[in-house]
Amino acid sequence: MKELIETYWLYVLVGQYPHGPLGGLALTVLLATLGLMLALPLGILLGIARFSPDRWLRLPVTGWVWGVRGTPLLMVVF
């Protein structure tokens, strides 16, 4: 059994991507990782811009944040 896992570990993890038993899991983990890698730096930059003393930088970011907060969650899901 150990030899099978060592030989076919990728097939066991992913299956016949995307039609295998775990293909959706692998895609979900990949998308979540990419989303975190992109969202964290963007969130830090927007957070810094929101508390900037420059009004021309702070106001558009504040407006965008209020627009995102005002969007209903069901609309985001669809």
pLDDT along the chain (78 residues), means of 10: 72 64 73 94 94 93 93 88
Q: And the tokens for 5?
A: 């896992």
* Separation between Cα atoms, residue 12 and residue 6, nearest integer Å: 10
* Separation between Cα atoms, residue 60 and residue 48, nearest integer Å: 13
Supply the pLDDT for residue 78: 84
Number of domains in the chain: 1
Contact residues for 15 (Cβ-Cβ < 8 A; gap 6+): 21, 22, 23, 26
* Separation between Cα atoms, residue 11 and residue 20, nearest integer Å: 9
| Sequence letter at residue 48 | I
7: containing domain: 2-77
